[in-house]
């Protein structure tokens, strides 16, 4: 996480060095049950844009296109567009992760509302 952008770097958001898009457009904080595999019922889970995971707590593995790699608190992961991805948490150390996407437009609430005429 130390490699993420910081105030004063002149970059538009914390992951600007990692993914395209001038604004963060969606995201959340996910809490996973011990041993849970995310999106398990869906089968393949993919997006048309980059997704960033910041592992905030716990440990487990990230499955990307059938490959498994260990993850732990402090890791930052970039999922490429079209990659099938799932997090599997360690039963004794459940994963909490921050996830987000960036885009040119950003989230609709980031756009100023039109001012009334007059």
Give 78's contacts (C-beta < 8 A, 6+ positions apart).
Answer: 15, 18, 19, 50, 51, 52
113 pLDDT more than 80: no
Share of the chain above pLDDT 70, in %: 96
Q: What CATH topology corresponds to 23-106?
A: Jelly Rolls (2.60.120)
- Taking the C-alpha atoms of residue 68 and residue 60, their distance in angstroms, rounded to an integer, is 10
**Band of the pLDDT at 41, cuts 50, 70, 90?**
confident
Q: How many helices (H) and strands (E) would you count in the chain?
A: 0, 7
91 pLDDT more than 90: yes
pLDDT confidence of residue 32: 93
Domain ranges of the chain: 23-106
| pTM check: above 0.75 | yes
Q: How many CB atoms lie within 10 A of CB 3?
A: 8
Higher per-residue pLDDT: 2 or 116: 2
Length of the chain: 118
Pick from 16-20, 41-45, 109-113: least confident:
109-113
């Amino acid at each position: 996480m130390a490699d993420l952008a910081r105030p004063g770097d002149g970059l538009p958001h914390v992951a600007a060095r990692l993914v395209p898009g001038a604004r963060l457009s969606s995201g959340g904080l996910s809490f996973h049950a011990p041993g849970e595999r995310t999106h398990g019922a869906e089968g393949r889970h993919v997006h048309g844009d980059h997704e960033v995971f910041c592992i905030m707590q716990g440990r487990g593995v990230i499955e990307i296109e059938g490959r498994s790699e260990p993850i732990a608190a402090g890791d930052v992961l970039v999922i490429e567009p079209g990659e099938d991805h799932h997090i599997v948490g360690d039963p004794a150390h459940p994963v909490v992760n921050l996830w987000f996407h960036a885009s040119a437009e950003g989230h609709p609430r980031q756009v100023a509302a039109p001012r009334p005429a007059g």
